[in-house]
Amino acid sequence: MCYDLTIIGAGPAGLTAGIYARTRDMKTLILDASKVGGQLLSLYPEKGIHNYPGFETIQARKLSDKLYAQAESLECDIHEGEKVETIENGDECYIIKTNVAEYTTKSVIIAIGMGMFKPKKMGAIGEDELEGKGLEYVLPPKAEIVGKKVVMFGGGNSAIDMALVAATVTDTTLVHRKDVFRADETTVKTLEKSRVKTEMSATLVSVNGTDCVESVTIKRGEETIDIPADLVVINIGISANLGDLDTWGIELTKSGLVKVDFDMKTNRPGIFACGDVVDYEGKYKQIITACGEAATACNSAYKFVKKPYWA
Ligand SMILES: Cc1cc2nc3c(=O)[nH]c(=O)nc-3n(C[C@H](O)[C@H](O)[C@H](O)COP(=O)(O)OP(=O)(O)OC[C@H]3O[C@@H](n4cnc5c(N)ncnc54)[C@H](O)[C@@H]3O)c2cc1C
């Protein structure tokens, strides 16, 4: 079978592209190297999203579930655990090869976001040894942290949001290496009014414990402070890993992201891109922009494949 459209990546951009494609009756395949949901599920499932229109606040996991359910109900074929490795030219189609299978498709939308992203590490003593034993990079579900002493590291919106979530159910301390946060003013104000304890201008020296995390040692100037902890959450950003993108024959910008026209076209005919993986002047990496670009990319793919008289 030849798909009308294959979408690489099942984050908000890829799922939205799938939803639009099915409303246009395009046979649609969505492939994700990991799990459906992209950054929402892998990086901040517990966080509340306050800026997605239509929801005053929605937990990231729930927004991801809703997008997934909508794409599935519209009968997109969705495959998890399939990493796209190559996009080769076929006979009036493209051949997509993944780590497990091969597909033919008339058009492609690249929506791989930050790629196979990984949370950044702090490089502190004990960090590697205690990972998964009380040291995490993503806040576990609230039910699992009740009664635990949580110490979080980071100073951006995401770290503060996670600390606010944790503080609704347990004792939470947020440690930041600077004397001011680099987050939205409203988020900082909410933090100031919350029960989260803060340690500013402090760096992590070590995460301590034998079989599991027992405490952290931080340093402020010459002062060394031990804080008892059952759970340490490090939230200082992520490293993108765009994998094979530079071997797909797609023109990239200086920052290594996909160069697109206003209609989300790439340099390869029939291949479009959207979401965090694209770059243009003024690009703002948000869910709403990823979804908006996905609608445009899908419309362009539709015109390319179906060639409607009005296009
Ligand atoms: C901590 C944090 C908090 C945030 N909070 C907000 C917020 O409150 N509001 C907001 O609007 N935005 C927020 N964002 C930004 C938002 O998450 C991103 O802009 C959005 O996820 C981009 O969606 P995407 O679909 O382009 O990419 P992603 O969400 O990165 O999804 C890409 C998908 O592609 C898959 N993939 C990668 N490579 C391949 C491959 N070779 N083959 C197959 N699949 C592949 C990945 O597994 C992933 O599932 C936040 C970001 C972070 C890091």
For residues 112 and 71, what is the distance between their CA atoms, to the nearest angstrom?
17
* Average confidence (pLDDT) over 18-31: 98
CA distances from 163 to 13, 51, 150 (A): 27, 18, 9
Pocket around ligand 1: residues whose beta carbon is below 6 Å from it? 8-14, 31-34, 38-40, 43-44, 49, 51, 83-84, 111-116, 158, 238, 243, 275-276, 285-288, 290
Q: Which residue has the higher pLDDT, 6 or 42?
A: 6
| Cα–Cα–Cα angle for 75, 64, 155, rounded to 5 degrees | 160
Per-residue confidence (pLDDT) for residue 238, from 0 to 100: 86
Q: Three-state DSSP class for 214? A: coil
Which of 52, 287, 288 has most ligand 1 atoms within 8 Å of CB, for mutation? Answer: 287
Name which residue sits closest to atom 4 of ligand 1, judged by CA: 158
For residues 280 and 67, what is the distance between their CA atoms, to the nearest angstrom?
26
> Is the Cα dihedral 52, 55, 60, 64 positive or negative?
negative
Whether the per-residue pLDDT at 311 is higher than 90: the answer is: no
What domains can be seen in the chain, in order of their start residue? 2-117+240-306 (3.50.50.60), 120-234 (3.50.50.60)
Per-residue confidence (pLDDT) for residue 241, from 0 to 100: 86
Percent of all residues in the chain with a pLDDT value above 70, rounded to a whole number: 100
Ligand 1 midpoint to CA 224 (Å): 37
Which pLDDT tens digit goes with each residue over 216-259? 999 999 999 999 999 999 999 888 888 889 999 999 999 999 99
Across the strands, what pairs with 29?
6, 77
Write the CB contacts of 184 (distance below 8 Å, at least 6 apart in sequence). 157
Whether the per-residue pLDDT at 205 is higher than 90: the answer is: yes
Residue 194: both structure tokens together: 């919350």
Please report which confidence band the pLDDT of residue 117 belongs to, taking 50, 70 and 90 as the band edges: confident
- DSSP state at residue 131: B
